[in-house]
A and B are shown apart, each in its own frame.
Chain A
Amino acid sequence: MARNIVEFRNLKTYFYTEEGVVKAVNDVSFSIREGETVCVVGESGCGKSVTALSLMRLIQSPPGKIVGGEIIFDGRDILKLSDAEMRRIRGNEIGMIFQEPMTSLNPVLTIGDQLMEPLMLHKHMTKKEAWNKAIELIKQVGIPRAEQIMTSYPHELSGGMRQRIMIAMAISCDPKLLIADEPTTALDVTIQAQILDLLRRLKEEKKMALMLITHDLGIVAEMADYVVVMYAGKVIEEAPVRELFKNPKHPYTRGLLKAKPVIGRRQERLYTIPGQVPNPIDLGDFCYFSDRCEYTMDVCRKKMPPLVADENGHKVACWLYEGEWKK
């Protein structure tokens, strides 16, 4: 049983805005094991990106602030590290790629320059060594004519190629963990598949853990070892991937699965979960899904259900599975 490379413990990240406090991450706890792929799923605004950015300590403050909890990475509490120590981890032990490859690369610097930066900084390579390693990386992510790419600028590359470069940059220092925040959302479907394949391959070769953030259950099915479902800043279900798809417990998860159209099966009407994500400002102590849930009970509106595990290691936060309400 591999050890945990990341442990989120009661993480709370809030945003203080003019309209009120947004509890973007509201007491989130889960772990990622060495070499494991954990998919964090949820709708826009549920807090999945903020969780990842909290781990990287890239939360813009003001207005954001990590107000509580711990994040243990490789045995150390990230939140207690100094800025300098944190910088040594970023790009080095943890790599991160983002959603928009079109804007995530600096338009006035060459690809080569941007690739070489982390190598020279973290691995103390000379320019020559970094140059050669960068070429290797470009080949590794499956881009031909590496030499030419090195002197090109981002706008000369396609979206898919740029995302590959982002990946190359992120893994360049052999990190223990790669965070991918919706890496394929902005890309064509065919390119999506290629990028996912690439991620899978690199993960195997480098024995990296992968934290994959997405709202697409298809990607979850393909890539995940373990799934964490978030809603309105909280984890509402988590389980190994097969278990989750076979036996979804939380009504939200069930709704998500029902909503995904299946190829080959015709439906009169596509299913959507009724209602909307709640206003994230000043949320109180009740189940946030309660007003959209078809199984809502009185207790759901009065108290927040805790996250509880069952025999299979399948955790869920729902009153349907608690105590006397257990079905």
Chain B
Amino acid sequence: MERLTPTLDYRKNRKKGGTSLWQDAFRRFIKNKYAILGLVILTFMFLFAFVGPYFSPHQDVPDVTKANQPPSNEHWLGTDNLGRDVLLRLMLAGRISLTIGIVATLILLLIGVTLGSIAGYYGGWLDVIIMRIADIIYAMPGLPILIVMGAIMSDLKIPPAHRIYYVMFILGIISWVGVARLVRSQILSLKEQEFMLATEVLGLRDSKKIIKHLFPNVLPTVIVAGTLGVASSIISESALSFLGLGVVPPTPSWGYMLSAANNMIDFAKRPWLWIPPGVAIMLTVLAINFVGDALRDAFDPRQKI
């Protein structure tokens, strides 16, 4: 079959050992400048949030005598209304926001992949039920529901320290539908392919078929979806916290720091309070998007030479 770009025969010029999908994808990923940039930014953000505080000369304690100071040599991002160093707050808040983003995504992947696989693989009424539940959740407007759940948390007087867990959990529960559908449709199309017929002929058990044969093929999609899921979880959490319904003080979060802008004076006159957390979110999400996009391109066997 002729193609515009002739077939490349790797085997002659390469050492023994074929190139697997993963090695190919890795190579393509590394070559992507944006991917590398994204990884660098993400590494920086993680270090910033988790290691940064150890390098800060300040403590995270209120000191009202120093409240509301603009950026200076001593406080690079100034101080907030309780006299705390904003830069330090930014780092600590980062820990929370990043953690929530990741854990919420793990939860949603767990639910989504499991349900999607079951629905896709077993079909029948299991499929119908799962997809019906998915339809219901999908049809409801996400943000209002999220906000309501946040309000309920406040009503239930859940202690601030525990709210973070509830938030992660709720984010995960609301968002699994997309991944489930993706996984299900992939499994549906994979099921019909010949290699699955081969496993049937070999007489493999269901679980073996799913885990050893289907999953590796579904994994690239899941990885991409997961990466992008972290980005959207971070934004969702920041929206909730901005409204005061996500994590609440004393737990810091970028979203909550942004809510300083709700106060007219802080908004107009003290931008150092609310602009840095916004920028932090943007950088993190941007980096995640770079990486996610690059992963998607790397796993796609259709080369765009």
Contacts and interface: CB of A to CB of B under 8 A. Distances in A.
A305 to B, nearest CB: 22
Contacts of B12: 276, 278-279
B5 A63 contact: yes
Interface in A16-63: 17-19, 22, 24, 44-45, 47-50, 53, 59-60, 62-63
A185 B1 CA distance: 8
A181 B3 CA distance: 11
Contacts of B5: 15, 17, 22, 63-64
Interface in B1-35: 1-10, 12-13
Contacts of B264: none
Given A63-B305, A279-B13, A19 B2 contact: no
A45 B4 contact: no
Nearest to A58: B4
Contacts of B1: 44, 99, 182, 185
A218 B6 CA distance: 24
Interface string A167-202: 000000000000001100100000000000000000
Contacts, number: 57
Given A185-B1, A278-B12, A279-B12, A45 B7 contact: yes
Contact of A49 (B2, B10, B305): B2
B163 to A, nearest CB: 50
Contacts of A48: 2
B4 A17 contact: no
A105 interface: no
Contact of A24 (B6, B10, B13, B305): B6
A157 interface: no
A59 B4 contact: yes
Contacts of A60: 4
A277 B9 contact: yes
A289 to B, nearest CB: 15
B9 A15 contact: no
Contacts of B8: 17, 19, 22, 279-281
A53 B13 contact: no
Nearest to B5: A15
Nearest to A17: B305
Interface string B149-162: 00000000000000
B132 to A, nearest CB: 32
Contacts of B6: 15, 22, 24, 45, 47, 50, 280
Given A18-B305, A279-B12, A279-B13, A64 B7 contact: no
Contacts of A59: 4
A281 B213 CA distance: 35
A48 B9 CA distance: 18
Nearest to B9: A279
Nearest to B3: A49
A155 B4 CA distance: 25
B5 to A, nearest CB: 6
A99 B1 CA distance: 8
Of A24, A45, A62, chain B has the most CB atoms within 10 Å of the CB of A45
B301 to A, nearest CB: 15
Contacts of A185: 1
Nearest to A291: B12
Nearest to A19: B8
Of B2, B9, B305, chain A has the most CB atoms within 10 Å of the CB of B2
B140 to A, nearest CB: 35
Contacts of A53: 4
A276 B8 CA distance: 12
Interface string A60-100: 10111000000000000000000000000000000000010
A18 B9 CA distance: 14
Contacts of B9: 276-280
Contacts of B7: 44-45, 277, 280
A278 B9 CA distance: 7
Contacts of B2: 44-45, 48-50, 99, 181-182, 213
23 contacts: A15-B6, A17-B5, A17-B8, A17-B305, A18-B305, A24-B6, A44-B1, A44-B2, A45-B2, A49-B2, A49-B4, A50-B2, A50-B6, A53-B4, A64-B4, A182-B1, A182-B2, A185-B1, A277-B7, A277-B9, A279-B9, A279-B10, A279-B12
Interface of B: 1-10, 12-13, 305
- A-B complex: 6 closest residue pairs judged by Cβ atoms: A49-B2, A279-B12, A45-B7, A45-B6, A279-B9, A24-B6
